[in-house]
Structure 1
Amino acid sequence: MVFRLANRFTAGLSMAGALASAMLFMAPAKAQDSPMSLADRVARLEQQQQNQDQYRTNLLNQLQQMQSQMQNMQGQIEELQHQVQQLQDQNKAQYTDLDSRVGRLEKTASANPAPAASSNGPASSPAAASTAAANPAAPAAPSAPAESAAEKSAALNAYNVAFKSLKGGDYVSSSRGFREFIQKYPNDALTPNAFYWLGESYYATTNYQVAVEAFKHLLNQYPQSDKAPDATLKLGYSQLEMKQNDAGVATLKSVVAKYPNSNAAKLAQERLRRLSQQPSR
């Protein structure tokens, strides 16, 4: 019995010694591990902070680039809006006049199906009546020989063919047709109008230099033509398109001064207003 108790006591002492040894062995290890883990954590946090700082810097740079791009795009959008509005104004003025003139020609032709007997001779023919109705204000050359009824009819037909091409957007055919009309019928009452629509055909295809020549010829040779206001307006537009800004502005101002009550004057004023609002470059 005593021997058993002695053995148990010895075994307990051995176990306690083993536990104490184990604890003494582990304590230094923990004392060494704790500082290293803390250093790693600090290093990890510093690296994360650096990554976050770099991310913020990259994000800020991207935002600045996007703002710059948006500003450039805004300027391009405003320029495109200006060009679209300009084209709308030009098309409105052009096709309003086109439709009005075609309507008058068709109305006159239907109202005069046959030649009327008159002591005035050829001037009372249907072709002459159609010509006069189509262009009441355009003067004929004072020294030009009188056209026969057949010549007037042929001239009107050639003019209408070129005019139809213009209205259909076939500017190459219309410019060719109006050139041929001017060469063949230089003294016809519709010749001033043919010069105007010839200029329009070239303007529509951005051939501004040739358009300027056509408009100037009309204004120099037929200053009293009813197309003079529109020709002066399109002359100014063409000069602006050719970057002749001073000349273009002066021409538009002359439209307002010479033809204050015309639709061309309203369009010239609107264009001048936009030019004054554009930032100087």
Structure 2
Amino acid sequence: MNPKVVRIRSFAMALCFTAPFALAEAQMASGGLSPNAAADLLFQLETLQQEVQSLRGQLEDQGHELKLMKENQRDRYIDLDKRISLLMSASASEPKYSSAPAPRVEQSVTQTSVEKVNNSTNTLVASPLAPISLQPPTAQAQQAYNDAYNLIRQRNFDEAETAFSKFVKDYPDNSLTGNGYYWLGEVKLVQGKSKEAIEAFSTVIQNFPGHSKEQDSLYKLGTVSDQLGDTAKAKSYLQDVIRRFPNSKAAKLAAGYLSKIK
């Protein structure tokens, strides 16, 4: 609760109860209340009561907004926590099977993938094609990725954001870079940085077409767009997930989310 509002409310309540009596005592001491004085006293009392009601309304509005913010933040944390739990329960950790180099893709196929993303969403800015072949990470890059990823497992999101930001900057074109951008987006979501998260997810789609995290990034773009109030864009992203990756877990999540959007 805003301390300033509390002080104003306390002051108004004090005036509401003390001012009439103080004025009444002064008038009685001077020979009683005149009709005009009584009318003024009543007007002041009504004014103070209206101000108190107005302050109560403001407090209720602020309380409602705070409740919505807490619920939204909790939902984001639960979503990321579920994803982390699923990865931790797998027989092999995510960094191990992400370290293999991405398969070679012909330039014409890569161009088609970029055009499909641009035409279906009309939201991503055109960017240069991703490299035809991504290099496998060096031992140093793999260690940096594992360290950053472990920070997420430990729920140390502030340090995880710093670590992944440094990772994608230091190693911009290996097979783990797309994963780095994806997890950077997830961490920013937990911290309430929705617009920055959109930038990270969009980078996966623009710079790493065909990446294993592309479908998850599209799904997250849809949900975050909906949270930011852009329903049309959210539907476009989610429908794109279903159309391009119909048998994926992301497609099932997208279909479920779409059914809840009005």
TM-score of the superposition, structure 1-length normalised?
A: 0.54
State the Cα deviation string for residues 175-232 of structure 1 (Å, max 9, x = none). Answer: 34324544437332x4322111122334445555543332111022345445445434
Task: Give the superposition deviation at 1:53.
Answer: 3.0
1:162 pairs with one of 124, 140, 148: 148
- Alpha carbons 1:165, 1:171 under 8 Å: kept: yes
- Alpha carbons 1:139, 1:222 under 8 Å: kept: no
2:102 pairs with one of 140, 147, 168: 140
Greater relative CO (CA pairs within 8 A, separation 6+): 2
1:56 pairs with one of 42, 60, 66: 42
Question: For the structure 1 residues 146 and 259, does the alpha-carbon distance in structure 2 shift closer, same or farther, using more than 3 Å as the test?
Answer: closer
Alignment of 1:81-92 (within 5 A): 81-92=67-78
Task: Give the superposition deviation at 1:58.
Answer: 2.0
Runs of 5+ in structure 2 lacking a partner? 1-29, 105-131, 243-250
Question: For the structure 1 residues 256 and 203, does the alpha-carbon distance in structure 2 shift closer, same or farther, using more than 3 Å as the test?
Answer: closer
Percent of aligned positions that are identical: 21
Task: Give the superposition deviation at 1:237.
Answer: 6.7
Task: Give the superposition deviation at 1:162.
Answer: 0.3
Q: Report the equivalent of 1:39.
A: none
Alignment of 1:107-122 (within 5 A): 107-108=91-92
Q: Report the equivalent of 2:239.
A: 257
- Alpha carbons 1:139, 1:224 under 8 Å: kept: no
- Alpha carbons 2:184, 2:197 under 8 Å: kept: yes
- Rg comparison, structure with higher value: 1
Q: Report the equivalent of 2:9.
A: none
Between Structure 1 and Structure 2, how many residues are aligned? 198
CA distance in 1 between counterparts of 2:51 and 2:135 reads 72
Name the amino acid aligned to 2:253.
N
Q: Report the equivalent of 1:174.
A: 160
CA distance in 2 between counterparts of 1:75 and 1:198 reads 34
Name the amino acid aligned to 1:108.
A
Flag the structure with higher helix content.
1
Q: State the SS of the aligned residue for 1:198.
A: helix
Q: Report the equivalent of 2:66.
A: 80
CA distance in 1 between counterparts of 2:37 and 2:63 reads 38
CA distance in 1 between counterparts of 2:101 and 2:80 reads 22
State the Cα deviation string for residues 79-125 of structure 1 (Å, max 9, x = none). Answer: 22222221122111111101211232xx337xxxxxxxxxxxxxxxx
